[in-house]
Amino acid sequence: MEAIVRVIILIHVLFGSVAIIAGPIAAVAKKGSKVHRISGKIFAYSMIITAILALIVSLWPGHKSLFLFSIGIFGLYLVVSGFRVTKIKKLGRGQKASYFDWAMSITMGIFGVTMLSYGAYLLFYGKLAGLIQLVFGLFGMMLFRGDLKMYLKKPKDPRFWLFQHINKMNGGLITAFTALLVNNNNFMPGIFAWLLPTLIGSFLGTYWTRKYKGKAKKKGKIKANLAGE
């Protein structure tokens, strides 16, 4: 049995390494370009495999790990939902989210509440690790809330799906780098290793979202000016 889990871990590391390489390429490539599409698919498929294997290992006797389980849940949700949002672009025009979309979002909501509760429990007993669980629990609840708003209210911005796609795929990249840093950290306090990728990734995600929102507004103004001529 131990030999089997070692093979699973090896495959997990292999596909995780591919995701670490392909993810940044997709992130910096021009959105919609061939490089972006190819590297994005490689990143997504690699992350899905990595996340599923992480969940298997995290529940394996002798290898149980809340850290690995959390990373697996977040990675799987973010990448799959980041892909799925490109399939529900017409929510603002009457399209409905699928049962699968709802199931993913509800699962993340439940996970978020669980992490918040567990984090509060750890902090109550003076364990600093509870702060990490609170941050990830809060992040999970924010994702759940965003999904509910998207499903129940018609998005006014027709490019809502693009911003959701950017933020969720960026979140998937954050989980990959978090796993890499936490597992190989020997130069900084553990809590920084947990939270640093989130801080940096959140900043970059905000930058990219604002960048493309700015481009959308600029195009809209140009069209309005042309229409007025």
Q: How many CB atoms lie within 10 A of CB 114?
A: 15
- The predicted model gives 27-32 an average pLDDT of 82
User: According to the model, what pLDDT value does residue 219 have?
Assistant: 55
User: According to the model, what pLDDT value does residue 92 have?
Assistant: 85
User: According to the model, what pLDDT value does residue 70 have?
Assistant: 82
User: Which stretch of 7-21, 47-61, 87-101, 195-209 has the lowest confidence by average pLDDT?
Assistant: 195-209
User: Which stretch of 17-21, 58-62, 89-93, 203-207 has the lowest confidence by average pLDDT?
Assistant: 203-207
More confident residue, 132 or 171: 171
User: According to the model, what pLDDT value does residue 147 have?
Assistant: 92
Report the alpha-carbon angle 170-159-89, nearest 5: 90
195-208 per-position pLDDT tens digit: 788 788 778 777 77
> Is the pLDDT reported for residue 128 higher than 80?
no
Q: Tell me, letter by letter, the H, E, C secondary structure of 14-67.
A: HHHHHHHHHHHHHHHCCCCCHHHHHHHHHHHHHHHHHHHHHHHHHCCCCCCCHH
Asked whether 101 and 150 are in contact (CB, 8 A), the reply is no
User: According to the model, what pLDDT value does residue 79 have?
Assistant: 93
User: According to the model, what pLDDT value does residue 217 have?
Assistant: 56
Three-state SS at 99: helix
More confident residue, 195 or 86: 86
Please tell me the distance from the alpha carbon of residue 114 to that of residue 97, in angstroms, as a whole number.
25
- The predicted model gives 173-190 an average pLDDT of 78
**Is the four-CA dihedral 86, 87, 90, 92 of positive or negative sign?**
negative
- The predicted model gives 18-42 an average pLDDT of 89
Mean pLDDT, the chain, whole residue set = 84
Of the pLDDT bands very low, low, confident and very high (cuts 50, 70, 90), residue 226 is very low
More confident residue, 188 or 107: 107
Of the pLDDT bands very low, low, confident and very high (cuts 50, 70, 90), residue 215 is low
45-85 per-position pLDDT tens digit: 999 999 999 999 988 888 888 777 888 888 899 999 999 99
